Amino acid sequence: MIPSSFDYVVAESVDHAVRLLVEHGEDAKILSGGHSLLPLLKFRLSTPKLVIDLGRIASLRAIVEEQNRLRLGALVTHHQIEASEAVHRRCPLLAETAGQIGDVQIRNRGTLAGSLAHADPAADWPAAILALGAEVRLAGPKGERSVAARDFFIDMMLTAIAPGEIITEVRVPALAPLTGWAYVKVAQKASGFAIAGVAALLSVDPSGHCAAASVGITGVASRAYRASAVAAALEGKKLNSDGIQAAAKHAADGIEPLDDLHASAAFRAHLARVLTRRALELAVSRVGPGVSWPV
């Protein structure tokens, strides 16, 4: 339970952190909240020679509201998101997701970017980030770039972050009018991680037809995914209970569900479908004035 020895550097800026990462290559690891990194160090599953602490880069702690989006700095904690008035107003799906992560201590320390970079297949954020069509901003030796959420999660604990890069922020579009949202999950009791978690967005036109749908699912497969068959089954259709139930049946289409001591593959696929229906029903109930539910 004692990590192997390493040097520790407090990064003064994003550029400084990138320079150190480039200089030390695979021997270096970024530290944000430490909630995943420290257990890895203690079990010696990761044995970096250098730990680069981003914690003093104040600019990475900001939530910035712009006209059509929110910019969430890499060090923004789950609690900051859960408590942010701007988040509740512009993108309440984020607050609803944050509030379901672990417990208060975890939410006070764990960071959005740390969670995305770690890419635990049972983490909550990927579902919401995928459903929202967010962008992950990366800084590296070749400058800055953006990666769309759908291209970010490659496999279990594997992302599109290239060597020498760090996440600097996540850009999330503000919800369009007449859009409902929901994040629902079945949690693993001890940790709170998702056995299955579904984030859903539904936009409805004034005639009650689904203008757009987006569903992100975590916990079920080796990486979080967008359930595009669910969205395709809803878009353009009049929204009603039967339609939602039929669409939710596609939640695990084309997926190879995980099978482990927490849940069998068949149960995870079942949860994906049930939680998708619940998330869609909750989302449509929140679309706003003029749209009544159930129909």
Ligand X SMILES: Cc1cc2nc3c(=O)[nH]c(=O)nc-3n(C[C@H](O)[C@H](O)[C@H](O)COP(=O)(O)OP(=O)(O)OC[C@H]3O[C@@H](n4cnc5c(N)ncnc54)[C@H](O)[C@@H]3O)c2cc1C
Under the rule (CB under 6 A), what is the footprint of ligand X?
Answer: 29-37, 54, 74, 78, 101-102, 106, 109-111, 113-115, 117-118, 123-125, 161, 166-167, 191-193
Q: Which is nearer to ligand X, 75 or 251 (CB)?
A: 75
- Phi then psi dihedrals of residue 204, to 5 deg: -125, 140
Which tokens sit at 79?
A: 């609690």
CB of 207 to ligand X, least distance (A): 37
| Residue position matching structure tokens 């520790």 | 8
User: Are 218 and 126 a contacting pair, CB within 8 Å?
Assistant: yes
Q: Which is nearer to ligand X, 81 or 123 (CB)?
A: 123
Which amino acid makes up residue 6?
F
CB of 29 to ligand X, least distance (A): 4
Q: Which is nearer to ligand X, 127 or 284 (CB)?
A: 127
Q: Which is nearer to ligand X, 8 or 206 (CB)?
A: 8
CB of 57 to ligand X, least distance (A): 9
**21: Cβ–Cβ under 8 A, 6 or more apart, which residues?**
28, 30, 52, 163, 164, 165, 166
Name which of 30, 27, 35 is nearest 165 in CA terms: 30
* Alpha carbons 275 and 62: distance in angstroms, whole number: 32
- Phi then psi dihedrals of residue 120, to 5 deg: -65, 130
CB of 243 to ligand X, least distance (A): 30
User: Are 119 and 111 a contacting pair, CB within 8 Å?
Assistant: no
Q: Which is nearer to ligand X, 79 or 250 (CB)?
A: 79
Minimal CB distance to ligand X: which residue? 114
CB of 201 to ligand X, least distance (A): 19
* Alpha carbons 59 and 113: distance in angstroms, whole number: 14
* Alpha carbons 123 and 120: distance in angstroms, whole number: 5
* Alpha carbons 204 and 207: distance in angstroms, whole number: 8
Q: Which is nearer to ligand X, 145 or 237 (CB)?
A: 145
CB of 52 to ligand X, least distance (A): 8
| Residue position matching structure tokens 């939640």 | 251
Q: Which is nearer to ligand X, 216 or 239 (CB)?
A: 216
CB of 50 to ligand X, least distance (A): 11
